[in-house]
Each structure stands twice: as structure tokens, then as C-alpha cells.
Amino acid sequence: MINKLQNKGVVFALATFCCLLWGSAFPSVKIGYSLFDIQTAGAQILFAGYRFTMAGVLTLIMACIFYRKWIVPGTGELRGMVSLGLVQTAIQYIFFYIGLANITGVKGSIINASSTFLVILFAHIILKNEKITRAKVFGCVLGMAGVILIQLNGGQIDSSFSLTGDGFLFLACIASAMGVVLTRIFTKKSDSMALTAYQLMIGGVALIIVGRIMGGEITQVTTSGILLLVYLAVLSALAFTIWTVLLKYNPVGVVAIYGFMIPVFGVVLSGFFLGEQFLSLRTIIALMCVSVGIWIVNREQSKKPQNISNEIF
């Protein structure tokens, strides 16, 4: 089973599927805001809390069915589950949901690509076998050029730039990248499905609490809105579970190479479902820079044999 999860074809198929799901979240979240008439930051975070709590419950049910027993975390696993729940789910999506409400789905999905380069940096600092090289530096510079390019308008930074829009999405990227490295660490001692289930539930409950404290309420509920919320929960349950399994059995860089597909799917799906412009020359060049940059960052590492044991300092 482990050998299959390290097979390049299997990794490609599973990682691509995850990126498609995550890419679809960009237009889905914005559509959800409309269906539930969500207009305040508190309501946005509350909406996120419902989504990830549901996702955690669904993942736990799947884990219990798969293992044919009730999954109860051990004392030694709680630290990882709480840490991931707060960093990868609660903190990341507080910034993500507020930020995405103040930015277009196309722009947001490309900015989100910067998390891949932050993963490389954090992995270099924390993991022994994930060192930064000249090729990685060049790839990061090229990829970040694409992220910056999407901000430009007539040679100047787009006047729509704001701390609560672009800025919050960058902060979400930092939390996301740290979450990837922490996942690599904590899956050493925890089952992937159990870790995913409990971290999503812990993070989801934290988001609900924060949303309530901020005065968030969801007063408009429709059948379409509920179905969309269920879809968001299912995509989170599937994508986080599969990605966690891939990170458990493969080096961070080998999995991260596929992250370029998230902004690609996000841009295309936002264009189709939100009617946003995504075929401009500027957007296409930006996407090319991001994609080539991530490919360069990971090309060298994917060619080298990786010793994935004893990686942590």
C-alpha cells in the first residue's frame, strides 16, 4: 500500500484531484456568501466553522467505517490534532474567508499560490531533507513574480489592494504552509484519517466560537445554500484526507509540486461560475510564472532519492 502511495502516477492522480477540489472552493465560497446573504466578517467565519466542523464529522465517519471501529485519539496525538486544528483550519480560514470576501476569485486563487513557496521555506527550516538550493530560489522568484504580476495594473499596484483582502490572503498562505509542514511531522505518530478528522473538527469549532464572538449570524437559509455547504464540507473532507496521506508517505517537495494546479483550477472555475475575467494576457502570464516556478522548485528534489525517515530536527 505504501509503495502505491509513492508511485508517481498515483501521486499525480490523487494530488490533481485534491487541487481540483480546492480550486473549486474559490467560486463556491463566494457563491455561498450570496446564497446565505453573508455580509459581515463574523458571519463569514461562522460559515467557515460550519463547513469544517461538518467536514471533520464526515471524515471521522469515513474513518470509523474504514477501520470498523470508533476512532478515539490517544493522549500523545492530541497535541498534533489541536495544533493543526488551530493553525491549518482556524487561523488559516479566518484570514481566507475574510480576505476572499474582499477580492476577486481569480486574483485570490493566484495569491494563494504563494503558500507553495512558503512551504519550501518552512520545510527548509524545520525538516532535514528539504534544503533550499539555487534552483529552488530561482523557482520561488519566478513564481512570486507571477503572484505580483496579477496585482499590477498599468505598471502600478492595483488600487484595489487592501489589508483585509490581499493582505489577509497572504496571512492565510502563511498558516497554510505551516500547516503542511506540521502535517508532515504529526503524521509520523498519528493515523492520517484520524488526524484529519479531529483537526478539522477542532478548527471548525474554534471558527464557530470566533464567529459568534464577532456577532456573526446566518439568517437566510435556502436549499441551494445547504447543498453548497454540504459540497464544501465534502470537498474539505476528501482533499484534506488525501493530501495528509500523501504527505505522510512522500517528501513535502514531491507533493507540493502539484500545488500549481490550485490557482489554475481556481482561476478557470472562478471565470466560469462567477463570470470573472480570466483570459487576459496578464492573468495567463501570471499563471505561467507561478506554474513554471513551482515546477523548477520541485524538479531537482523529485529526481533525488529521498530518505523520509528522521526528517525532523
* % of the chain with per-residue pLDDT over 90: 39
Mean pLDDT, rounded, for 277-291? 75
Helix or strand or coil: residue 160?
A: coil
In the predicted structure, residue 270 carries a pLDDT above the cut 70 = yes
112 or 84: whose pLDDT is higher? 84
- pLDDT, tens digit, for every residue of 234-263? 999 999 999 999 988 887 877 877 777 787
Answering whether pTM is above 0.85, one says no
| Structure confidence at residue 153 (pLDDT) | 56
Measured CA to CA, the distance from residue 105 to residue 268 in angstroms comes to 10
Question: What is the arithmetic mean of pLDDT over 284-313?
Answer: 64
Mind listing the pLDDT tens digit for each residue in 212-224?
999 999 989 999 9
CB atoms within 10 A of CB 212: 14
Q: Residue 309: what pLDDT? A: 43
Residue 187 has pLDDT above 80, yes or no: yes
Count CB atoms within 10 A of the CB of residue 267.
30
Query: For residue range 3-48, what is the model confidence (pLDDT) as tens digits?
Result: 778 787 888 899 989 999 998 988 898 899 999 999 898 999 999 9
Query: Residue 260: CA atoms inside 13 Å, Cβ hemisphere, count?
Result: 23
pLDDT at residue 198, rounded to an integer: 95
Could you state, in order of their start, the residue ranges of all structural domains in the chain? 2-303
Alpha helices in the chain (DSSP H): 2-5, 8-35, 41-67, 75-84, 92-101, 105-111, 114-126, 134-149, 168-186, 192-213, 223-249, 252-256, 261-274, 281-303
Q: Identify the helix (H) or strand (E) that includes residue 156.
A: strand 156-157
Q: What is the pLDDT of residue 86?
A: 95
Cell numbers at 277, concatenated: 475575467
The model's pLDDT over 56-103, given as tens digits with 9 standing for 90+, comes to: 999 999 999 988 899 888 878 888 999 999 999 999 989 988 887 788
Name residues whose C-beta falls within 8 Å of residue 194's C-beta, 6 or more positions apart in sequence. Answer: 60, 63, 71, 73, 77
The rounded distance, in Å, linking the Cα atoms of 176 and 118 is 9
As beta bridge partners, residue 127 has 312
pLDDT, residue 18, reads 94
- Quick one: what percent of the chain has pLDDT higher than 70? 88
Indicate left, alpha or beta for 155 from its phi (over 0: left) and psi (-120 to 50: alpha): left
Name the band, by pLDDT with cuts 50, 70 and 90, for residue 151: low
Residue 265 buriedness (CB in 10 A; 0-12 / 13-18 / 19+): buried
pLDDT tens-digit series, residues 301-313: 555 555 544 444 4
State residue 155's pLDDT score.
Answer: 52
Provide the mean pLDDT of the chain.
83
Q: Is 229 exposed, middle or buried (0-12, 13-18, 19+ CB in 10 A)?
A: buried
Residue in 266, 256, 213, 224 with CA at minimum distance from that of residue 20: 266
